[in-house]
Structure 1
Amino acid sequence: MSAGIRVGTRGSALAMTQTTTVAERVSELARLPYELVRVRTEGDVLKGSLSQIGGTGVFVAALRDALLEERCDVAVHSLKDLPTLPAPGLTVASVPEREDVRDALCARDSLTLATLPDGARVGTGSPRRAAQLRSARPGLDVVDIRGNVDTRLGRVAGLVPGAPGDLDAVVLAAAGLRRLGREAAITELIDPDVMLPAAGQGALAIECRESEATPGVREALAAYDHLPTRLAVTAERAVLLQLEAGCAAPIGALARLQGNILALEAVVCSTDGRSMIRLTRSAPATDAVAAAQLGLDLAEELLAAGAADIAPLNG
């Protein structure tokens, strides 16, 4: 039995920053020391787009293996990277309060989505962002990119001295930029009315073994859990689950809790951005079961409206 809490993390700057914040808080709540355990995932090694290398789960599988093999006690994930189906033997024991849910435009010369000229080259690795960019600004040249946050920022002309600077802008998650202290690169926080975020965007998930019995750890994780965030992301992820949507499907979802009413909005786009189905549904939601049902119901409405006809689902 470890004398402290071993916290599994990917080795990227963003992952290390996120995990350190979580580890410090859980350590404080559990009154136990912590150590970080770096785990290299396939997503950190393989090249190509996410849809080509196996989807967002490539960032998660190695961390889950480390948990099951007891090389670490808890693992910290970006929630939007977590597959919608749970892993046998593991549980998401805590979802801390969410950061900014929005996508952020980082452009040369302080340009915004409205002021980027037609033909401007905008980079993103997300089919969801690409489709909504094409819908909002059909004249843009949307370019598929990979790499960590600083690598992507370096692709923007004039943003990072000595970097390639071959693009006019990139779109990244505002939460990641904030966590890394890169807010200065943001030229526009894109309104969700224009670009609906990914399910779970801005939230973290702390996973542990169902059998985790280190005194104080499960209690600390429960205390760290933020119910409004958990309800929102549960509804959002239920949309993806019911649509059987993989990472290649351009789908956005965002839920907000107002009193005891959860308002959920979701969008399904064609990859070229020319077709879009966007629906909203609200329901009382005081627990995860009700939140999940809201997501399932909205997904059924999207399917009835023709979502499977315009987007690559069943991935």
Structure 2
Amino acid sequence: MSQYEFSIGTRGSALATTQTGHVAVQLHEISQVAYNTVLVKTEGDVTTGPLSQLGGTGVFAAALRQALLDGSCDMAVHSLKDLPTTQPDGLLIAATPQRADVRDALCARDGLFLAELPEGATVGTGSPRRKAQLLAFRPDLRIVDIRGNVGTRLGRVKGSPAQKDDGGVGRTAQGDLDAVILAAAGLERLGLDSHITEYLDPEIMLPAPGQGSLAVEVRAAGSGHPSVDTALETMDDVDTRLAVTAERALLARLEAGCAAPIGALATVQGDTLVLDSVACSPDGSDTMRRSATTQQLTIDGAQALGITLAEQLLREGAADLAGL
């Protein structure tokens, strides 16, 4: 085994370190190169208040990217939905590993489904996209803005023990909500999927662009070791790369971020890339769903698909509808 070690940067949350650990182990197994982990504190980790008012997309990425640029680490692992759509000079996304579950998940008291929640039930989420689509499906719900790690959010559900991010049971939960909405992928990666009472069908709630996907970012010159660069190429999943490229191209053309009630999901179906999108009024009173397809299964084709669908949305009034 080589004496060289690659360093991999991550946020310090349990979800981030778990995701990064999976990537690091896989790269090590492919390259046979050892690694070390560099913890980086980001603005999103230390700032309080709604994420939609903290600069939105990018608050979890900027410090990691700076650590990469200044050489503190050789690569950084991001949740792709946290990355701004504009790629900074000097950095590139070297790998998008195979995507996990893209869906949003309901974690409700008493094992309830979304349709079974009582009238006026309280549901916690910090996402304008989730809020708008929840209200479109159930206008009677009361949406409560929440933040915190996965365990803290789960602890807000009535009758649920407060969960530490490692899955261990903590002190008695705050228990002030009937349900919370979280990304299914994060719950599954943390081994907390037993809290899921319903996986929300994309027909009800389209996910955020890039949801369920990770991005391994490196400097433009690469990781610094040929074996690791080869391992990154091996880890890159083509279908995932095409899907998230289309989703993020749509988001970029709409000039929207995580503070916008926009959802998008692309899938490779045989020889066709299908992109579904939704734009919502913030209160969920009106929604616009549109889809487009291409058989150009290339990065350029995926980008063109996203841009084409975004331009259709804009022509039909999505900017005014969603407050972009």
TM surpasses 0.5 = yes
Equivalents in 2 of 1:171, 1:90: separation in Å?
Answer: 32
Alignment of 1:103-122 (within 5 A): 103-122=104-123
Q: In structure 2, how many angstroms separate the alpha carbons of the residues matched to 1:17 and 1:216?
A: 23
Match of 1:177 among 187, 199, 209: 187
Counterpart of 2:51 in structure 1: which amino acid? L
CA displacement at 1:246 relative to structure 2: 2.2
Q: Give the superposition deviation at 1:87.
A: 1.1
Question: Which residue identity does 1:260 align to in structure 2?
Answer: D
> Deviating runs (4+, > 3 A) in structure 1?
none
State the alpha-carbon separation in 2 of the partners of residues 221 and 71 from structure 1: 19
1:46-125 paired onto structure 2 within 5 Å: 46-125=47-126
Give the Cα separation in 1 of the matches to 2:58 and 2:262.
16
The equivalent residue for 2:267 is: 256
CA shift for structure 1 position 240: 0.4
Gapped regions of structure 2 (runs ≥ 5)? 163-171
Q: Distance in 2 between matches of 1:31 and 1:74?
A: 17
Q: Deviations over 1:248-305 (max 9, x none)?
A: 1100000010122100000000100001110010111321110010000000010111
CA distance in 1 between partners of 2:227 and 2:99 (Å): 23
Task: Report if the CA contact (8 A) 1:76-1:207 is conserved.
Answer: yes
Distance in 2 (CA, whole Å) between partners of 1:16 and 1:246 is: 24
For residue 58 of structure 1, give the secondary structure of its aligned residue in structure 2: coil
Query: Equivalent residue for 1:145?
Result: 146
* Paired-residue identity, %: 60
Answer yes or no: is 1:18 the counterpart of 2:29.
no
Q: Secondary structure at the match of 2:301?
A: helix
Deviations 1:123-145 (A, max 9, x none): 00100000000000000001110
Query: What's the CA shift for 1:160?
Result: 1.1
Report what 1:295 is aligned to: 306
Q: Residue 32 of structure 2 corresponds to which residue in structure 1?
A: 31
- Partner residue of 1:188? 198
TM-score computed with the length of structure 1 as normaliser? 0.98
Give CA deviations for 1:75-94 in whole Å, capped at 9, x if unaligned.
Answer: 00000001000011000000
Partner SS state of residue 136, structure 2: helix
The answer to whether the aligner puts 1:223 opposite 2:224 as a matched pair is: no
CA distance in 2, matches of 1:300, 1:82: 22
Measured in 2, the distance between the counterparts of 1:57 and 1:42 equals 9
What is the letter of the counterpart of residue 241 of structure 2? R
RMSD: 0.9
Q: 1:232 aligns with which of 243, 248, 251?
A: 243
Q: Any conservation in 2 of the 1:100–1:175 contact (CA below 8 Å)?
A: yes
- Corresponding position of 1:203: 213
Paired with 2:10 and 2:273, the residues of 1 have a C-alpha distance of 31
TM, length-normalised to structure 2: 0.95
**Does structure 1 retain, via aligned residues, the 8 Å contact 2:15–2:190?**
yes
Q: How many residues align?
A: 312
Aligned to 1:40: 41
How far 1:247 sits from its partner (Å)? 1.9
Give deviations 1:101-123, integer Å, cap 9, x for gaps.
00000000001100001111000
CA contact (8 A) 2:52 2:127 kept: no
- Contact 1:248–1:312 at 8 Å: present in 2 too? no
Indicate conservation of the 8 Å contact 1:262/1:282, yes or no.
Answer: yes
In structure 1, how many angstroms separate the alpha carbons of the residues matched to 2:134 and 2:298? 34
Quote the residue 1:307 is aligned against: 318
State how far apart, in whole Å, the 2-side matches of 1:50 and 1:92 are: 24
